[in-house]
């Protein structure tokens, strides 16, 4: 026994190391790995005190904020940590809702985006419209640090890194410049175009739902412009800042040209733009008239009150690239009485109706039934 005790004293450090290795080996072999990375013998995630849980969530919030600053994502980077608020709509696919579009000129962008909507899960917000342009320009987006568009005025270095140049005030503004407005709680962001402003959530009637890209005269609200970001690709190519008037050769848009566009006489996309310009029309004015005609002719059918929504289009909808369930519901008039977003909103019910496990993940070609 004396020899054993003496041996242990001489090799105490080694004995402790071996004991630790044995415990770790036992845990690794017999314990079950949980979804959060911890290991327990009863296959249940470990329970922490409230203080430890709060500390964990505080660290996670700081980490998410750092990631959001770097990557430009507005939403938490993972789901199921236990730190996110209940019934909170996560951003739908982050920057995945955006795609590259024609930036050959301000007019090309307007024609490509007019009537299109982008939604990260917070409605068709003006910030999401600006992010679509950012992504088309650079393949990246920058999130506003304040949660409102006006915050972009204080993120000059981040946004200039994407290919913009900041100008304070509104003097010298040209077609294609993205104006940052300071009016209201959150401000606004939109692209200056022909004396008006092209952006999302303009004249929607409900700022939390928003609306798709449209061209609008913002009147006196333009006096709240803090400054604007000029895309470097258009630094020398867009038109002067004074409210533009149609070119002398521009024909007045009439019912016949609208009908011809709807019939496909002028083709689609850039081909349509070129043909309309060759015929003497302003493509943006024609598109606006076409959108008005389509909206006026859309069938309006009242669904039973018990269904919880008012349905304007009764047919199925085939998903296109860039669509979200919220965007589809808005475009077709499927308005939920409990709101569109969140676990109790209409988009969740729409997902359940169509067997969609994740309401933020849909694919082009997928058929959606109201």
Q: 7-20 pLDDT, tens per residue? A: 777 777 887 888 88
Contact predicate 284/194, CB 8 Å? yes
Lowest-confidence range among 179-183, 270-274, 352-356? 270-274
Sequence ranges of the domains in the chain: 2-40, 94-234, 255-297, 305-368
Determine the average pLDDT of the residues in 227-234. 94
Domain 94-234 identical in fold to domain 305-368 = no
The domain 94-234: what is its CATH number? 3.90.1720
pLDDT confidence band for 339 (50 / 70 / 90): low
CATH superfamily assigned to domain 305-368: LysM domain (3.10.350.10)
> What is the reported pLDDT for 338?
56
Determine the average pLDDT of the residues in 184-205. 89
What is the pTM (predicted TM-score) of this model?
0.44
Contact predicate 229/164, CB 8 Å? yes
């Amino acid at each position: 026994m004396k020899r054993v005790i003496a041996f242990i004293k001489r090799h105490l450090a080694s004995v402790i190391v071996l004991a630790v290795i044995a415990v770790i080996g036992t845990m690794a072999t017999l314990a079950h790995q949980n979804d959060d990375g911890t290991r327990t013998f009863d296959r249940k995630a470990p329970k922490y005190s409230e203080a430890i849980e709060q500390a964990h969530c505080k660290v996670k919030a700081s980490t998410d904020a750092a990631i959001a600053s770097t990557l430009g994502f507005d939403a938490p980077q993972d789901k199921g940590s236990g730190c996110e608020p209940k019934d909170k709509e996560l951003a739908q696919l982050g920057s995945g809702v955006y795609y590259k579009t024609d930036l050959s000129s301000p007019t090309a962008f307007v024609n490509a985006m007019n009537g299109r909507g982008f939604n990260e899960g917070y409605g068709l917000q003006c910030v999401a419209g600006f992010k679509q342009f950012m992504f088309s320009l650079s393949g990246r987006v920058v999130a506003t640090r304040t949660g409102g568009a006006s915050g972009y005025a204080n993120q000059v270095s981040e946004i200039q890194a994407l290919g913009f140049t900041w100008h304070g005030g509104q003097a010298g503004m040209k077609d294609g410049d993205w104006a940052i407005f300071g009016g209201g709680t959150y401000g606004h962001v939109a692209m200056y175009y022909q004396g008006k402003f092209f952006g999302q959530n303009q004249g929607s009637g409900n700022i939390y739902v928003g609306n798709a890209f449209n061209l609008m005269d913002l009147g006196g609200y333009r006096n709240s412009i803090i400054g604007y970001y000029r895309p470097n690709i258009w630094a020398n190519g867009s038109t002067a800042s004074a409210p533009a008037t149609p070119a002398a050769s521009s024909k007045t848009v009439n019912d016949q040209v609208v009908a011809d566009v709807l019939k496909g006489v002028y083709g689609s996309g850039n081909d349509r733009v070129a043909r309309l310009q060759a015929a003497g029309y302003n493509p943006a004015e024609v598109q606006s008239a076409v959108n008005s005609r389509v909206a006026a002719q859309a069938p309006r059918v009242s669904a039973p009150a018990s269904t919880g929504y008012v349905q304007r289009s009764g047919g199925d909808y085939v998903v296109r690239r860039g669509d979200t369930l919220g965007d589809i519901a808005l475009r077709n008039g499927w308005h939920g009485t409990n709101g569109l977003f969140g676990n109790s909103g209409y988009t969740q019910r729409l997902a359940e109706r169509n067997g969609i496990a994740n309401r933020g993940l849909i694919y082009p070609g997928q058929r959606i039934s109201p």
